[in-house]
Structure 1
Amino acid sequence: MPLDPITVELVQARLSSIVREMRTIIIRTAYSRMIIEGHDFSSAVLTPEGDLVAASELEQPTHISALSWSARSLVEKYRGDIGPGDLFLHNDPYTGGSHLNDVGLFYPVFEGEEPLAMVGVMAHWQDIGGMVPGSLSGTARDIYQEGIRIPSLRIARRGLWLDEVLELLFANVREPADRRGDLAAMEGACRVAERRLHAMTERFGVKTVRAALDSLLERAERRMREAIRQVPDGEYAYETYLDNSGDSSEPLALKLKLTVAGDEIHADFTGCAPQVLGPANLGPAPATTATFTMTKALLDPAGPINAGALRPLKIIAPLGSVVNARPPAACGAIGEVRRALESLVVGTLGKAIPQRLVGDLKGASNITTVSGENFLFAEFPAGGTGATAGSDGNNTMRNFAEGDISSIQPVEAAELGCPLRVERMVLREDSGGAGWRRGGLGLQREIRLLAPRAQLSVLSDKNVVPPYGVRGGATGARNRFTVIRDGREIEPSALPGKVTGFALREGDVVVERTAGGGGYGDPLEREPEAVARDVRFGYISAKAARGVYGVVLENQSATMALRERLRAERRRFKVIKGDESQSPRRIVEIAPAAAQRLDIAEGDLVEIPRPDGPSLLAWVRIAPQLDGETCRVAASALAILGEGGSVVELRRA
């Protein structure tokens, strides 16, 4: 007999309430600022086999998929040996985790001796051991340098803690008392969830609850398949780049081909860069996470978040690539690589549904750690989000795909617990990508060290390759992290955005400049009144208003004339097909005369705007044999450019 749909809805509401209560408990009882202030954790209810059943909109997608992968991993390892009161830890990227700092706690829930569900919490532990305080290093060479790897480990049996296991674990992390407090908060949330699940079975009956869980998954699958049917069938491709590996300055290519066929989407990441000797690698879960998160956000944002909605998606992530690396590759930069994959999915799927395109955002987790004797401060500096057809981007946000996570640590929290003083925090003028709709602004935050000495570590992306614009919109400003010492600004690392244990002195000022979001549409089409307002608010400079947007403040006729001149000055090139380059970078060849007109040189990064999608980014190669009106790209680039790609504009990115 089919379940009453009202009963299914009531079970869904109860499950959502359970997850929200778990969040509240953790925020109130955890020890780490990263959890209390940053909300870098997630809670979920899963089936006994580890499939996601319930999560709130406040959870982090990275954690949600990793919770499910990790739960399935532990079920496989301990099958037949899981009982009431057991607790398990997991953080291993290679068996479903994200990076080592994201520690998952799993608590199987039983009715008598029969499994009913599993509840889980994944939280960013501020330190998990490794080569630097905070564990995340931009120059880690293998996973052993990033901390303790926990591939499904029982830490309690039948309600009794395995103290020897915990003693070994906490002897190898910094701030062990805080880590114990975080674990206790996670465990408390799981035990409350167990009581709520038992109350639900008392209300509805065990059989009804189990049937409702199955129904919720089936309903989400049907809804997602119907949303996919609205997308035109076809193959769609795009590519983007990571700044570097942390070991070399060479950018890393990320490529995707999406095939839409009826009510299914196949995502093939073949062509992504091979795994690297640095932290810019992923285990098997995040490629699925990125595909699911952005496909659902674009096609079915209001639907339930569970494993049923994932069923219509098929993902290929080649083993040995940066999107599915082999051990012992370092995996600390999940926030950078996964976010780049999300941008890749949006840019690829956007070709099929251009009306839903959004400019790229500041892109990376930007995790910045300042640590010294008896203190550890870590935060994820916020940046701008991309513009859409309906609005400008948002200023100084984390991003749209990370739930309730907060990236701006309150000044009071930073200064109360650490010898630091926040001296400046402002919106970063001209950082939002120009467009008919402007990208959101990044921030500039300056933090002075008051202790005799400390270390600075940064793990970031979008310091070299900026957030892309869409449908003619410009790229956003890049991230940049520097130190002011004795009045002079210095670079803390030879590789932008990858800093490991840089020695800070008393009085040094850490400067965080975060990226802006990509613009949407032609900036010369933006309403002059909106440009004037941006100047008044300090979002853009008067120079940018004139030179980028073509607006002469308070002079409409002069604005029209200036815009006509700027349009005429745009450099357009006839595109011819060249050979596929052996370089890992996308190459565009132009003549020396063309490079001189554009004021660009060999190796500079340029963007090729597209009317129906994100800009294509490429590096310049000077080709003396070409004439000044022609550029040459490989056939694979022409396939991405699509219709209208026979004549293109080039501009500095």
Structure 2
Amino acid sequence: MTTTTEPAAEFELDILRYGLIEVAREMNEALMRSAFSPVCRDILDCTTAIHIRSGDAWETAAQWEGCMQHAFTSPHIVNFVMDEFDLDTLQPGDVIFVNDPWRGTIHQSDVNLLRPVFVDGRVEFILHSTSHLVDLGGPIPGGFSNGTQTAFEEQIKLPPSLLYANDVPVRPLFNYILENNRVPQLVLGDLRALHGCLVVGERQLQALVARGGLDRVKAAGRYAIEATEASMRRGIAGIPDGDYTVEDFLDEDGVTDEPIPVRVTVKVRGDSMEIDFSGSGRQPLGNCGTAWCEAVRCIEAVKLMADPGTPVNSGTLRPIETLLPQGSVVCVLPPSSCSNHADIGARCINAVAGALSEAIGDRSIACDTGTALVISLGGIDTRPGHGGTPWGAFALTGGGWGGTWKEDGISFCVTPIGNCRTSVQEHVEIESPLIVAQHEMVADTAGAGRYRGGLGSVYTLTAQADTIVTVTCDRVRVGAPGAAGAGAGAPAFGWYIKDFDLARHADPLDLRPAEPLFGMFDADGRPDPNHGGFCRGARYSTGKFSGLVLKAGDAIRFLIGGGGGWGDPLARDLGRLERDLRDGLYSPEFAVLAFGAVLDGERIDRDATARRRAELAALRAAGTWSVPVATPLNWIL
């Protein structure tokens, strides 16, 4: 193998840095093609990365993300692990396993495999694959152990441990993992896929080194990091210097009913930034805090707003320092439970995006739905021919992103923290005793604004065998806030429907057969985010619960809110609003209420609307009118 110390031309470095990204892409595609569970194969809750040696530490040179949050935490995971593992004892073909949140992983369901790559007898690269596993034991299938208060009540947790030695499985560790979960066939398949993609990656990386030379490939990795850092700094430099503070809330922690404050101050100085979470709530009794990962995961908001175009690597993180108060909701101390990381992560991104929106004003964006509404499912498949087989599955229901200064928000998608796909419904129905009866957009869920938010959705799931269900949901009290004077998106709701029949129960606004599970309801059971009570009359006093038994033949239905709007809804272009009405995105009633529209049949009366909008603007100035929170208006009770 030849190496050279001659400086490479910039175009050669550019070719080689994209060669590294291509290796990461090949790893990710190999992982998805060979994974057994829908979590990795369909939902894309996975990431692959290439780390290069940088003195005594490691930096991420290239990634290919499915789940966005893993791309931001990956640079730290490798350093957590390699600081502890004796590098000199590693051999070619060794693979390290870790899933400990206090050693870098996000929660115990996210497993990370690290493989050293030797060049001329020295470890020069670490290849990294990560994915959520469908189960690793614990009290409920799937890992979001809502209601637990310590990590000891959750799934199995391992420090950095050798999973493969010279590409031979370490049998005691495999046996321990496989005998402590409900679906060993899926877990074994996914572990082999996570290992196999590293083998693919090493083969491709060694070929790249053979073609370009070790020094040039490493130089290309450093060039990639520095190019991303420079681009991030240019983006941050375009934000006015200042301190920008926002406070948001989690609904509660699943144990108590107290809202949990998430307070952030973004301090911009030149081309660098400090994100300070001082003032955030104490670590919760429930499982919705995080061990450390908001140190980097919240930077997703900066990336989206300041530098959306460059690849994510260690250079993305260099211009930003994050302060996490120990013992707070963003930095829980062991043995606190932190299996439900999704809602606090989404809220931190919302808060940082809100602070940056305050800073940049007319180029701001509104908040996304702010909850993934993760549904974890499992049980014994009692359908004929399935022989009582244990099974497990996940569903991501999808909401909406916020409106921006130049366009409406994206509808019917997962929050940016994941940027994953929703479930592939055909696969759910083939592999699980479940039928996805509905998964579609719902009118009047998008925050009203000059540019509306993206729409939320309804998700109705029926069971063919008794199923244990865990629901992880926030934004139940208040929907995603708008920006620049716009309205909030709809909050989330859930219902249980016995003896489900699509012919009779297809209308998501018909509440007559439905038992409320959670939401904001008035005294009659009507969803009312403006004046209703939190979980009034509902089975649960939280959107975060475990152990619901969905009986065969019954259904659960969720309404997931949309993103916040951007700008004054009284300034929304009437042509756009007419198109929204034609497409069924807003009802005529909501268009009148939130946009000041005056309708003449299916068309908007321009002159009458202008007069009505002037009246509403005057009422708003007097403090007697405000933009209503988005919510469907035509409920049937």
What is the TM-score with the length of structure 1 in the denominator? Answer: 0.85
CA distance in 2, matches of 1:356, 1:465: 24
Map Cα deviations across residues 478-502 of structure 1 (whole Å, 9 max, x no partner).
Answer: 1122211253323275233112111
- Shifted more, 28-37 versus 563-572: the winner is 563-572
**Which residue does 1:322 correspond to in 2?**
329
What is the root-mean-square deviation in Å for CA atoms of aligned residues? 1.9
Letter of the structure 2 residue corresponding to residue 171 of structure 1 = E
Distance 2:473 2:587 in 1: 27
Cα distance between partner residues in 1 of 2:265 and 2:627: 21
Q: What's the counterpart of residue 488 of structure 1?
A: 514
Which residue of 441, 445, 462 corresponds with 1:448?
A: 462
**In the alignment, residue 477 of structure 1 is paired with which amino acid?**
A
- 1:122 is displaced (CA, Å) by 0.7
Residues 34-53 of structure 1 correspond to what in structure 2 (within 5 A)? 34-48=39-53, 49-53=57-61
Distance of 2:58 and 2:131 partners within structure 1: 18
Structure 1 stretch displaced more, 318-327 or 70-79: 70-79
Match for residue 26 of structure 1 among 7, 25, 31: 31
Check 1:512–1:255 CA distance in 2 against 1; reply closer, same or farther (3 A cut). same
Residues 61, 427 of structure 1: CA spacing in aligned structure 2 closer, same or farther, 3 A cutoff?
closer
Residue 100 of structure 1 is aligned with which of 104, 108, 111?
108
User: Does the 8 A contact of 2:498 with 2:554 survive in 1?
Assistant: yes
Change (3 A) 1:215 1:420: closer
Q: Are the equivalent residues in 1 in contact too, given 2:346–2:415 (CA < 8 A)?
A: no
Deviation at residue 378 of structure 1 after TM alignment: 1.3
Correspondence 1:371 to 2:417: no
Whole-Å Cα distance in 2 between the matches of residues 465 and 490 of structure 1? 17
Q: Could you say what secondary structure the match of 2:405 adopts?
A: coil
Offset at residue 124 of structure 1 (A): 1.0
Q: Residue type matched to 2:37 in 1?
A: S
> How do 1:409-488 and structure 2 match up within 5 A?
409-451=423-465, 453-485=466-498, 487-488=513-514
Unaligned runs of 5+ in 1: 574-596, 599-605, 610-653
The equivalent position to 2:367 in structure 1, one of 360, 372, 377, is 360
The AA in structure 2 aligned to 1:276 is: P
Q: 1:590 corresponds to which residue?
A: none
* Aligned match of 1:651: none
1:545–1:146 CA distance, 2 compared to 1 (3 A): same
Q: Please state how far the C-alpha of 1:192 moved relative to its aligned partner.
A: 0.9
Within 2, Cα distance between the matches of 1:309 and 1:27? Answer: 26
Match of 1:250 in 2: 258
The structural deviation recorded for 1:110 is 0.6
Contact 1:140 1:146 (8 Å CA) reproduced: yes
Contact in 2 for aligned 1:138/1:497 (Cα 8 Å): no
Q: What secondary structure, in the 3-state scheme, does the structure 2 residue paired with 1:350 have?
A: helix
Q: Is the 8 A contact 1:102 1:123 kept in 2?
A: yes
Question: Would the aligned equivalents of 1:467 and 1:476 in 2 still touch at CA under 8 Å?
Answer: yes
Name structure 2 gaps, 5 residues minimum.
Answer: 1-5, 381-389, 500-512, 519-538, 630-637
1 CA distance for matches of 2:138 and 2:514? 32
**Aligned counterpart for 1:331 among listed residues 313, 338, 343:** 338
TM-score, normalising length from structure 2?
0.87
Check 1:37–1:310 CA distance in 2 against 1; reply closer, same or farther (3 A cut): same
Residue identity in the other structure for 1:552:
V
Q: Does 1:547 align with 2:593?
A: yes
CA separation in 2, counterparts of 1:186 and 1:267?
33
CA distance in 1, matches of 2:574, 2:51: 52
In structure 2, what is the Cα distance between the partners aligned to 1:362 and 1:375?
30
Deviates further, 564-573 or 347-356:
564-573
Q: Matched residue of 1:396: which SS? A: strand
Deviation at 1:316, TM superposition (A): 0.6
Q: Which amino acid aligns with 2:99?
A: N
1:304 to 311, 324, 327: 311
- The alpha carbon displacement at 1:229 in A equals 2.1
Q: What is the Cα deviation at residue 571 of structure 1?
A: 6.4
Shift of 1:397: 0.6
Whether 1:561 and 2:611 are equivalent positions in the alignment is yes
- The answer to whether the 8 A contact 2:495-2:517 is kept is yes
The answer as to 2:175 corresponding to 1:167 is: yes
1:178 alignment partner in structure 2: 186
Cα distance, 1:295 vs. partner?
1.2
User: 1:236-294, CA deviations, whole angstroms, 9 ceiling, x for partnerless residues?
Assistant: 11111111111111111011111111221111111111101111111112332212x22
- State the shift of 1:437 in Å: 0.9
| SS of structure 2 residue aligned to 1:431 | coil
**Structure 1 residue 225, shift from structure 2 partner:** 2.3
2:560 is equivalent to residue 514 of structure 1: yes
**Which position in structure 2 is the counterpart of 1:381?**
397
The CA deviation string for residues 143-197 of structure 1, in whole angstroms up to 9 with x for no partner, is 2222011221111223332111111111111201110110111111101110111
* SS state at 1:54 partner: strand
Distance 2:148 2:592 in 1: 44
Equivalent of 1:228, from 228, 236, 240? 236
Decide which of 608, 617, 620 is 1:570's aligned counterpart.
620
Instruction: Please say which of residues 76-85 and 516-525 is displaced more in the overlay.
Output: 76-85
Do the aligned residues in 2 keep the contact of 1:70 with 1:90 (CA within 8 Å)?
Answer: no
AA partner of residue 395 (structure 2): E
Q: 2:297 aligns with which of 280, 283, 289?
A: 289
Amino acid in structure 1 at the alignment position of 2:515: E
Give SS of 1:351's match. helix
1:516-557 Cα deviation digits (max 9, x unpaired): 110011111112222222122111111111111111123222
State whether structure 2 residue 8 is matched by structure 1 residue 3. Answer: yes
User: CA offset at residue 307 of structure 1?
Assistant: 0.7
Q: Which runs of 4+ in 1 moved over 6 A?
A: 606-609
| Contact residue 73 and residue 152 of structure 1 kept, 8 A | no
2:546 is matched with which residue? Answer: 500
Deviation at 1:47, TM superposition (A): 1.6
Q: 1:122 & 1:144 partners in 2: Cα distance?
A: 23
Residue identity opposite 2:349 in structure 1: E
Residue type of the partner of 1:324?
C
Distance across 1 between alignment mates of 2:135 and 2:483 = 38
Aligned residue for 2:418?
402
Match for 2:125 among 105, 117, 123?
117
How far 1:563 moved relative to its partner?
1.7
Q: Contact 1:62/1:286 (CA < 8 Å) preserved in 2?
A: no
CA drift at 1:608: 12
Q: Secondary structure at the match of 2:266?
A: strand
Q: Percent identity?
A: 29
Which has the higher mean CA deviation after the structures are superposed, 116-125 or 141-150? 141-150
1:434 CA drift (Å)? 0.6
